Amino acid sequence: MTNGYSEELASLGWSAFFDDQVAEDAASLEPARVVAVSRQSFEIQSLTLRKSVRIRDAPQLEVRPTTGDWLLCDAATHDPVKLLERKNELQRRRSGHDHRSQIMLANFERIFLVVSANQNFNESRLERGLVLASQSNVVAEIVLTKIDQCSDLDLFRNRLNQIPLLPPVHEVDARDTGSCQELASLLHSGETTALLGSSGVGKSTLINTLLGKELQATQSVRDQDAKGRHTTIRRTLIQLPSGAIVVDNPGVRELGILDGEDAIAVVFGDITEIAAQCRFNDCRHNAEPDCAVRDALHQGALAHRRFNNYVKLLREARPSEPYA
């Protein structure tokens, strides 16, 4: 875009991808990023101001904005007039019989899948997050929190190492700046990173530590099962002192997969590779003869938990299949 917008907006996540969508004669428009969304309004940040906009006051937008979106606004009135094409989306399938997708975030570069070294740790939930990251075409890394409260850290390391094709894992005490220093070095100015994980794993605490101040409200987990209470109630872009942008996503109990069969094939590449050795190309790994997947299960080369999760996610990914 002309007038030096690209360089000045880079710290908010603006890039050539958005620049190319703006006409040369669009001097009367200014870009603004959606930094937070609630039910009836959304908040935008431009070079000149930050303001809240009621959804009913933005009739020119054909699509409801989501956190991370880029808009073009009238430079005089600051009213949104156009939503720019998204670079990518983080989406989940709504629960039950609702087959529509829910867009949780747009235009980001990385996902931190946050899990905790306690009773809340769940391999299948982690694999689900890896599928969502693959669908979004972004880098995923795992953040293992609460290591300071764990008496047997090797137990969780071993459980992680049993997941094939595992991305990098970062072990942190989310309350300690020194422990989070390596993680902070991965976050660069103008890049957006989504923190994804269930309630109570320490996402808000981690952001407060990276910020160097208490911005996000936090709560302790329940002692009996290490489950957290919902503290963050909306997705908000938060800029760190380094210029990097992080998003504290509200903890969700279920991240439903929609249209994710290709991503599932990538995340479960070990199963895909084994299945290629089955006699039948359309083998369902149930009762068909010469099934390489069943053989791997019987021999212990493939974990039943991982295979069952693979089947469950594939079933969810099909639009006609409800899930609870």
pTM beyond 0.85: yes
pLDDT averaged over every residue in the chain: 88
* pLDDT for residue 114: 96
- Residue 199: pLDDT band by 50, 70, 90 thresholds? confident
**The pairing of beta strand 245-248 with beta strand 50-54:** unpaired
Report the CATH number of the 5-83 domain. 2.30.30.140
- Residue 323: pLDDT band by 50, 70, 90 thresholds? very low
Query: pLDDT digit string (tens) for 262-310?
Result: 999 999 999 999 999 999 999 999 989 999 999 999 999 999 999 999 9
Domain positions in the chain are 5-83, 108-248
Q: Does the pLDDT at position 205 exceed 90?
A: yes
Q: Which fold has domain 108-248?
A: Rossmann fold (3.40.50)
Sheet with 80-83: strands ordered across = 50-54, 41-46, 29-37, 70-74, 80-83
Structure-block tokens of residue 7: 């360089």
Instruction: Give the amino acid at 223.
Output: D
* Mean pLDDT of all residues in 169-175: 96
**The pairing of beta strand 89-93 with beta strand 101-106:** antiparallel
* pLDDT for residue 265: 95
Query: pLDDT digit string (tens) for 209-250?
Result: 999 977 655 545 445 544 544 444 578 999 999 999 999 876
**The pairing of beta strand 139-145 with beta strand 245-248:** unpaired
Q: What sign does the dihedral 27-28-34-36 (CA atoms) show?
A: positive
E-assigned strands of the chain? 29-37, 41-46, 50-54, 70-74, 80-83, 89-93, 101-106, 110-116, 139-145, 169-171, 192-196, 237-239, 245-248
Instruction: Provide the β-strand partners of residue 139.
Output: 110
Query: pLDDT digit string (tens) for 9-37?
Result: 999 999 999 999 998 768 899 999 999 99
Percent of the chain with pLDDT over 90: 72
